[in-house]
Structure 1
Amino acid sequence: MSTEKSSLHTRNLHRNPYDFDQLISCVPELKHFVFMNAYQTATINFSIPKAVKLLNKALLLHFYNIKNWDIPDANLCPPIPGRADYVHYIADLITDQQGRIPTGISVKGLDVGVGANLVYPLIAHQSYGWKMLGTDINQDSLKNAQNILDQNPDLSNAIQLKQQPNPDHLFKNIIGPEDRFTFSMCNPPFHDSEESAMKGNIRKTKNLKKTKSKQPLLNFGGQQSELWCEGGELAFITKMINESRWYASNILWFTCLVSKKENLPKLNSLLKKLKVVDFKTIEMAQGQKVSRMLAWTFIPQQERSSWLR
């Protein structure tokens, strides 16, 4: 019998087992991929790309009222529960000293590398009413993200998109001198090369199918900018930290996911070197997978309340 996913954040709407009857009522096509496993629990085969995409479409419609969500087959198909966790831990991070989570469009978030799926801005706005800006270097990804917004016109004033013209920058060309964001967020490329990304995808596919596989499946697909960059995760986040100091007065909390625990000592050492006012690592677990959110700020404690009004 399925039990509550207690490792997820307490406000995460996906702590309970999937109610496939409910989800199929949202996306009828999903029923073709649902079956009973050996424990007599309804599930899908997560190694089938279309099944994962339809599950996401149903989850986003049922829990967040997002209509007609879709992504190209070549793009990363994100696990919705884990993406929601990141949003809820950011909400904890910006909670005021009275324990209140700031809501509404006065809270502005920046999603660096929003991708074609737009998932973080969608969940952030639908959960807390925050205003979001999503950026990406990939024009096709932004085009698909805009298609999602076009299908949900009530979000047009709450979520905006902007292309980053220079892949060497993350905040430059995006943030103007007068801009103020309550937080930035980022799910960085994990791998250091296309070959490494391919091997990782094949390994995930094998683990799901429990069979030998020489080809990665598309639900673990992704454009180059989503999956790998030179130097991998460590180089990417190092660049982000170094660039963040030039926008110290524009963003209250910089945050980024860190998949590899062994990267933390070097990143923490760099943060100390740059004399950030505060930094912390928050662990997030989704089943057996453990990720972590690294957060840092240049804003003194006594000045932070003015950002949350």
Structure 2
Amino acid sequence: MPTLSLFHPRNRHQGRYDFTALIKSMPELAAFVRVNPHGDQSIDFANSAAVRALNAALLKAWYGLAHWDIPEGYLCPPIPGRGDYVHHLADLVAEHNAGVIPRGPAVHVLDIGTGASAIYPVIGHCDYGWRFTCSDIDPVAIKSAQAIIQANPGLRNSAEVRLQKSPAHIFKGLVGVNEYFDLTLCNPPFYSSSEEAADNSERKWRGLGKAGARHKRPLLNFGGRDNELLYEGGEALFISRMAEESTIFQKQVLWFSTLVSKESNLPKVYRSIKNAGALEVRTVGMAQGQKKSRFVAWTFLNPADQKAWHSRRPACSAYP
């Protein structure tokens, strides 16, 4: 598993944030910008409102979004890291397409758990023109994602949002009989209990120099509702169920994928995917500074079928 120390070359967010330029794009960010002890402009990353304002400014400056906001307490994703996931997936689907990244609305992506932010459709459409179907089990998140899509003309015809009515299922109830997806992606719930989340939050707060009684602080500076962060059995069990359900749709998806937050969960994830009967499994490491992550992707199609998948992709809509 190769681990990168820098952002993907196509990631728009190389280097440090240019707060002067970001404030020009969105003046509201100025209220949160301060000079840190090193003499650089920054924000208090322990302040969820500041993190939300930074995201809105980044999306406006770099992706041209006229509107982006999420309800208080919902997960506010780190945009550069989410971008890396999308760009590495683009490399993956290019492998059996003569090394060319397929672009445009004929590339159909299923976003499992899109959340209130709809961040993957924003990046995937703006950088590659892909079309997205987004799902979530939370009606409030669905409403927020729909508001973002409708408020930005470039996204209106490139993304739709569907409510997953059964929290026990991942792909069932979402993927239609005649629907085909080049990719699925997911940022699964990564804590098995509120206690585990609180312990991890405590470590992060101490790393931000905010030590103190945990009950006086929000759980995490980037927010997150229980359904976004917690899953009984943790991310390993969630991904296991994802792998199990993927067998049902193995002919309708080119590559299934998911982020894996904990490296220690990889052996369990590999066993689940192997038991599902996948023909090929990939693990791609990602790292930005001290933070390391990775995603795992699997397919039930052999190389010849992957090439055929690309060759029969039409100019739009369903295939093969």
Compute the TM-score of the two structures, normalised by the length of structure 2. Answer: 0.92
Q: Which residue of 2 aligns with 1:156?
A: 156
Q: Which residue of 2 aligns with 1:277?
A: 279
> Does the 8 Å contact 2:5/2:286 carry over to 1?
no
Question: 2:224 aligned to 217, 222, 225, which one?
Answer: 222
Counterpart in 2 of 1:120? 120
- Picking from 230, 233, 237, the partner of 1:231 is 233
1:6, distance to aligned residue in structure 2 (A): 5.4
Identity of aligned residues (%): 44
- CA distance in 2: counterparts of 1:274 and 1:226, whole angstroms: 25
- Look up the SS of the partner of 2:274 in the other structure: helix
Contact 1:257/1:292, CA 8 A, preserved across alignment: yes
> What does residue 133 of structure 1 align with?
133
Q: 5+ residue gaps in structure 1?
A: none
Task: Report the Cα offset of residue 197 of structure 1.
Answer: 1.9
Q: Bigger relative contact order, structure 1 or 2, given CA contacts below 8 A and separation 6+?
A: 2
Give, in whole Å, the separation in 1 of the partners of 2:292 and 2:33: 27
**What is the match of residue 300 of structure 1?**
302
Give 1:101-250 correspondences, 5 Å limit. 101-215=101-215, 216-217=217-218, 219-250=221-252
Larger deviation, residues 24-33 vs 217-226: 217-226
Deviates more, 1:288-297 or 1:262-271: 262-271
The one-letter code sitting in structure 2 at the alignment partner of 1:147 is: A
Between the aligned partners of 1:282 and 1:238, the Cα distance in structure 2 is 18
Residue number in structure 1 paired with 2:39? 40
Counterpart Cα distance in 2 of 1:30 and 1:241 = 41
Shift of 1:26: 1.3
Cα displacement (A) at 1:35: 1.7
2:240/2:273 contact within 8 Å kept: no
Paired positions, count:
305
* One-letter code aligned to 2:127: S
What is the CA distance between 1:301 and its match in structure 2?
0.7
Secondary structure of the residue aligned to 2:221 is helix
Over the residues paired in the alignment, what is the CA RMSD in angstroms? 1.5
1:31, 1:75 → 2: CA distance? 23
The match for 2:316 is none
8 Å Cα contact 1:94-1:101 kept in structure 2: yes
Q: Read off the aligned partner of 1:47 and give its amino acid letter.
A: A
Amino acid at match of 1:246: I
Which stretch of structure 1 is more off in the superposition, 209-218 or 193-202? 209-218
After superposing on structure 2, the runs of 4+ consecutive aligned residues of structure 1 that deviate more than 3 Å are: none
**Aligned residue type for 2:138:** N
**Which residue in 2 is equivalent to 1:255?**
257
Whether the 8 Å CA contact 1:12–1:85 is kept in 2: the answer is yes
Residues 48, 223 of structure 2: 8 Å contact kept: no
Post-superposition offset of 1:194: 2.2
Question: What's the TM-score once normalised by structure 1's chain length?
Answer: 0.95
Gaps of 5+ in 2: 314-320
